[in-house]
Amino acid sequence: MKQSIQEKLFETVQVGAWNLRTRTAMAPMTRCFADDQTGVVGQDVVEYYRKRAADGIGLIITEGTVISPRGKGNPRVPGLYTAEQMTAWKKVTDAVHSEGGTIIAQIWHVGRLTHHELAGGLPPQAPSSVQKEGLVHRLRKPYDLPEEMSIEEIHEVVRQYAQAAKNAIIAGFDGVEIHGAHGYLIDQFNSDLTNKRTDRYGGEFAQRLTFMKEVLTAVIDAIGAERTLIRFSIMAGGYTNTVLKDPEQAIRTFTDAFKEVGVKMIHPSTMEFQQVLADGKTLHQLVRKYWDGVIIGVGHLNPEIAEQALREGTIDIAAFGRPLLANPDFLHRIKNGQELIEYDVNKHLSTLV
């Protein structure tokens, strides 16, 4: 049996408030296994996360967990805004902690990417009334025309993010990741395609980051910077916009904003970790140029690519997604040189292994 050579991957590391057993993370992946009416997770979800903790994953980041009924964009996604939801999540966090693991909740608002049937009978919320083309994921109905958020509604959603973070701690989570990537609400404020506002939340790119900064400030005030992670993307959910015209400048603008509000840990998100963006550098290499805090790397990583990036100092933690869906014993297999089970979209999207 071939022994693993991923020495860096298996190091212990202190990240924020978390003492991690390995430099690995379970990337957030939408699973849609909660009760559709209540947003409450069940015992199958408890066992799903417990298995990954038992395998030694350093940091488990949950599936996107919505902060309000109006933030919901898929059937059967969990929430973190009711007592019943918090009680159910406590079973998950207890199970993970019983295995020596660390788990944080990814808190989420989809903004315009929803339908009134999912969002409590109300129109989607968005920075501007710009409708998304296509069909809502899983629901398979056209996206609704969103309502432009008033200043009061923006402030209320910021409060909802902060309350969800507090609820996460009450539910036993070790912290939160704010989902600020891939075309959801925060990303909609960041993008010029979806943000047409002329007030303080619109304008040039740096000014469009105002909503994100207010959310970060509120969450950090609620639970501390050492327990707060932000996931962001310069791709704006796959759109081609002004951010992409100068990726390095966009990254510098993001990192300046993070430093301004006291962020310590970031999760730059891309589908392809090795994709070169500018000056011969990848997203994470460009981010490292301007950021000396914690970076979580993600994007179709395999153990070899992750090990190299860790050794180079490009990232501090390597996040894996689909391999962890197919292999609850992912790290055990790597450490012992065993073959990984290949991800099967038909099997692993429809079941919790």
| pLDDT score recorded for residue 242 | 40
- Percent of the chain exceeding pLDDT 70 equals 96
CATH 3.20.20.70 fits 25-294, yes or no: yes
pLDDT per position as a tens digit, 236-267:
544 444 446 789 999 999 999 999 999 999 99
Look up 184 and say whether it is catalytic. yes
- In terms of Cβ atoms closer than 10 Å to its own Cβ (0-12, 13-18, 19+), residue 136 is buried
Does the pLDDT of residue 197 top 60, yes or no?
A: yes
| pLDDT score recorded for residue 244 | 60
| pLDDT score recorded for residue 93 | 98
pLDDT per position as a tens digit, 47-68:
999 999 999 999 999 999 999 9
| pLDDT score recorded for residue 226 | 98
pLDDT per position as a tens digit, 113-161:
999 999 999 999 999 999 999 999 888 999 999 999 999 999 999 999 9
pLDDT per position as a tens digit, 295-346:
999 999 999 999 999 999 999 999 999 999 999 999 999 999 999 999 988 7
User: What's the mean per-residue pLDDT of the chain?
Assistant: 94
Model confidence at 199, pLDDT cuts 50, 70, 90, reads very high
| pLDDT score recorded for residue 298 | 97
Transcribe 49-63 into DSSP letters.
Answer: HHHHHHTT-SEEEEE
What's the chain's length in residues? 353
Domain boundaries, the chain: 25-294
Contact 176, 239 (CB under 8 A): no
Contact 12, 57 (CB under 8 A): no
> From CA 186, how far away is CA 190, in angstroms rounded?
6
Q: Which of 184, 201, 239, 343 is catalytic?
A: 184
> From CA 3, how far away is CA 53, in angstroms rounded?
22
237's CB contacts (< 8 A; 6+ apart) are 181, 182, 183, 184, 187, 191
Does the pLDDT of residue 1 top 80, yes or no?
A: no
**What SS3 state is found at 76?**
coil
Strands 18-20 and 13-15: antiparallel
